[in-house]
Structure 1
Amino acid sequence: MSAAISPADTEQITVVIPARAGSERVKNKNTRRFASYEGGLLELKLKQLTRTSQIDRIIVSSNDPVVLEYTSRFAQEQGDSRIEALERPDELGRSSTPMSVFIQYVAGLQESGTMMMTHVTHPFIGSQHFTELVRAWRQAASAGHDSLLTVTKLQTFLWDENGPYNYDPSDERWPRSQDIKPLFEINHGAYLIPFRVMRETGDRVGNHPKMYELPENVVLDIDWEDQFTLLQDIAEAKEFRGISIL
């Protein structure tokens, strides 16, 4: 069991962005143009994070020279000393590398403070959401939680191989969806956990996590080429209407 969360655990917020080389499903997804962003999803995410004043350090962990070069150039052009391009050992950048191994590596990057892991592939998680997440994490830590992860609330008709899973059709064949007991999907939008607790648990989620809901339209994720195209279309439509995604 982890020790109680202290102010030292939550005072400093360090973002870690994993961006390995060699995406197999979406080629060059980190840095190819996305909507109006020439530097792609990486540029967008860095701009969202640098607009979040509560963030103290931003580490882009990659074994991709293009990602590392872009990150360093972006930091220099923006004059933002919080941004750091950190070369990741190649053995930690393979698709076959277990997440648990990478988590152990990340846990050793900093002695104290909170690690926030997020990904460039969630283009609509912007600065306002990161601000909310930091505030929610500090409140959760004060309430006794040792970590926070973002989730999507599922209150719909879910079945497994045996039929209805989260409702009883013997009571009502088709109950109102709002009466169904909700389940929560981990959407990987963000994980917040003290580095100390990461080392103790060997995980990016502690023993007493706080689930933080983000709307489904905010956590839209890019995992396949057609999703890249779809979310780019949405981003361009927002830009056309004057709606910022920063």
Structure 2
Amino acid sequence: MKANSQRVKGKNFRLLHGKPLFRWILDSLLSIEAIDEVVINTDARGILAENGLTDGKRVRIRDRKPELCGDTVSMNLILADDIAAVAADTYMMTHTTNPMLTPATIQAALAAYKTGVAEGRADSLFTVNKIQTRFYRADGSPVNHDPGNLIQTQDLEPWYEENSNLFIFSRESFAKTGARIGKQPILHVMDQMEAVDIDTPEDWALAEAVASLQTTQKAAAS
């Protein structure tokens, strides 16, 4: 969790639909009993304290090393530092910028990961968006379809987009690849309404709209 961001200034602490952005994913994670501890790697301990968050029973705040600060540092290097300092059987990584990710989706992904590991067919998991549409290269040539035979898009071969919402892995799988995605990953499809990843002002506006819709739906159901 960085103090500063390039395209949406101060986004991690900015109010999203009345609540600081970082609290959305933090509240979801803390609502899941299977998660023993939430580790926040940050250069903004002071700002978190100003927003009422300090180290607690299930929250550990780790000060990001100076050499790991900056916009061009690979997240895998930050994860390597956390893994070296925090012992665990299973690591789950997400971002402050994924406010719509729900506890239900997190729990479903964790269950799929554990089943995959137990059956020997997976060593990691990451969430994706399933996309079935017509893609073209910059020169106008088709990538995944025949323009002369326009079959229904739902009949096209699906493509999967990493949506940066959730990654699950072990110390062993990380050691093999030096990355959060192992050699045998599960691609876990999730609802695209939840898959908002805030990088731009447009992403922020979309997250606000989704949050407003969710509030309206909850009020109507109560």
Normalising by structure 2, we get a TM-score of: 0.89
Which residue among 37, 54, 62 is the counterpart of 2:42? 62
Other structure's SS at 1:204 match: coil
Matching of residue 149 in structure 1 with residue 149 in structure 2: no
In 1, the alpha carbon distance for the partners of 2:28 and 2:22 equals 10
Q: Please list, as runs of the form range in 1=range in 2, the aligned pairs for 1:128-167 lying within 5 A after superposition.
A: 128-144=104-120, 145-162=122-139, 163-167=141-145
| Identical positions, percent | 25
1:92-116 deviation line (CA, Å, top 9, x unaligned) = 1200213342232233133341111
In 1, the alpha carbon distance for the partners of 2:212 and 2:182 equals 38
Aligned residues: 218
Matching of residue 93 in structure 1 with residue 69 in structure 2: yes
Match of 2:154 in 1: 178
Cα RMSD of the aligned pairs, angstroms, is 2.1
In 1, the alpha carbon distance for the partners of 2:135 and 2:53 equals 44
Normalising by structure 1, we get a TM-score of: 0.81
Q: Please list, as runs of the form range in 1=range in 2, the aligned pairs for 1:34-45 lying within 5 A after superposition.
A: 34-37=16-19, 40-45=20-25
Q: Please list, as runs of the form range in 1=range in 2, the aligned pairs for 1:71-220 lying within 5 A after superposition.
A: 73-74=52-53, 81-144=57-120, 145-162=122-139, 163-170=141-148, 172=149, 174-220=150-196
Following superposition, the deviation at residue 56 of structure 1 comes to: 1.0
Matching residue's letter, 1:191: F
Following superposition, the deviation at residue 75 of structure 1 comes to: 5.7
Moved more, 161-170 or 213-222: 161-170
* Structure 1 alignment gaps of length 5 or more: 1-18
Following superposition, the deviation at residue 225 of structure 1 comes to: 1.8
Which runs of at least 4 in structure 1 moved beyond 4 Å after TM superposition?
Answer: none
Matching of residue 52 in structure 1 with residue 28 in structure 2: no
Match of 2:9 in 1: 27
Following superposition, the deviation at residue 161 of structure 1 comes to: 3.2
In 2, the alpha carbon distance for the partners of 1:217 and 1:196 equals 32
Other structure's SS at 1:240 match: helix
Following superposition, the deviation at residue 25 of structure 1 comes to: 0.7
Q: Is contact 2:48-2:54 (8 Å) kept?
A: no
In 1, the alpha carbon distance for the partners of 2:64 and 2:163 equals 24
Matching of residue 232 in structure 1 with residue 212 in structure 2: no
* Structure 2 alignment gaps of length 5 or more: none
Other structure's SS at 1:187 match: strand
Q: Is contact 2:45-2:61 (8 Å) kept?
A: no
In 1, the alpha carbon distance for the partners of 2:209 and 2:46 equals 25
In 1, the alpha carbon distance for the partners of 2:109 and 2:53 equals 24
1:190-238 deviation line (CA, Å, top 9, x unaligned) = 0000023212321111111111000211102211123213311331232
In 2, the alpha carbon distance for the partners of 1:154 and 1:240 equals 28
